[in-house]
Amino acid sequence: MTIRNIWIITIVVLGIIGLVIVEGFVNPTIEAKQDQYQAEQQNPLTHDFTVLAKYRSPYMGDNSNLSHLNQALPLHEKLNGYQLYLGTFTAQVNYSLDTREMNAEELERILVYNAVANFVMIDNLQTVVYQFENTSQTLRRESAQQWTGTELKELQNPELWNSTVREKLVEPTQVKEAFSQIVDN
């Protein structure tokens, strides 16, 4: 066997070992981390609020921006379209979900979290209507601001967001209180 053949065999063996390492260990680790991150994005208590900054807008009339914002929030896998009512500064977010299929406390936590996030990121949005297959929930900016006790624009700071919103949605009694204060039904 010539030296050239030995080099070729060595390179092929190293390539196969590298392929096994990448496909057998590296890629599954990366995919597991991505899956974990995606799962965390479904829960308001673990959601990455910082990803919402790019959807900041002074005006609610940009349907594409509103769509992308809500696709980055919990419950996005059940989204089923939007309707904007510019005259009343209202956004209707439609879901293909029967609310009886979900834990009521978790749904209330998600709705409060999502609505406040919409109000924080879109300056002139006054009302969000969450339309489900069996019901609808209306949440208002003024009520959200009263619940947070601060100007909603200030909550764009992730630390302030966590202390003012996320930490108030941990306990079931806090979720019920927040939901009853913000929802206008």
Q: Write out the chain in H/E/C secondary structure.
A: CCHHHHHHHHHHHHHHHHHHHHHHHHHHHHHHHHHHHHHHCCCCCCCCHHHHHHHCECCCCCHHHHHHHHHCCCCHHHEEEEEEECCCCEEEEEECCCHHHCCHHHHHHHHHHHHHHHHHHECCCCEEEEECCCCEEEEEHHHHHHHHCCCHHHHHCHHHHHHHCHHHHCCHHHHHHHHHHHECC
Residues 61, 22, single domain; the answer is no
Residues 7, 82, single domain; the answer is no
Residues 112, 144, single domain; the answer is yes
Residues 79, 25, single domain; the answer is no
Q: Are strands 90-95 and 79-85 parallel, antiparallel or unpaired?
A: antiparallel
Q: State the pLDDT at residue 146.
A: 94
Residues 53, 114, single domain; the answer is yes
Q: State the pLDDT at residue 91.
A: 96
Residues 95, 36, single domain; the answer is no
Residues 8, 76, single domain; the answer is no
Q: State the pLDDT at residue 19.
A: 82
Q: State the pLDDT at residue 105.
A: 93
Domain that holds residue 17: 1-40
Residues 98, 30, single domain; the answer is no
Q: State the pLDDT at residue 23.
A: 86
Q: What distance in Å separates the CA atoms of residue 131 and residue 78, rounded to the nearest whole number?
A: 11
Q: Which of 42, 130, 137, 138 is nearest to 94 (CA)?
A: 130
Domain total in the chain:
2
Residues 19, 53, single domain; the answer is no
Residues 12, 53, single domain; the answer is no
Residues 54, 94, single domain; the answer is yes
Show the low-confidence residues of the chain (pLDDT under 70).
39, 185
Residues 173, 106, single domain; the answer is yes
Q: Which of 127, 38, 104, 98 is nearest to 74 (CA)?
A: 38
For residue 13, the tally of other CB atoms under 10 A from its CB is 10
Q: State the pLDDT at residue 83.
A: 92
Q: State the pLDDT at residue 185.
A: 61
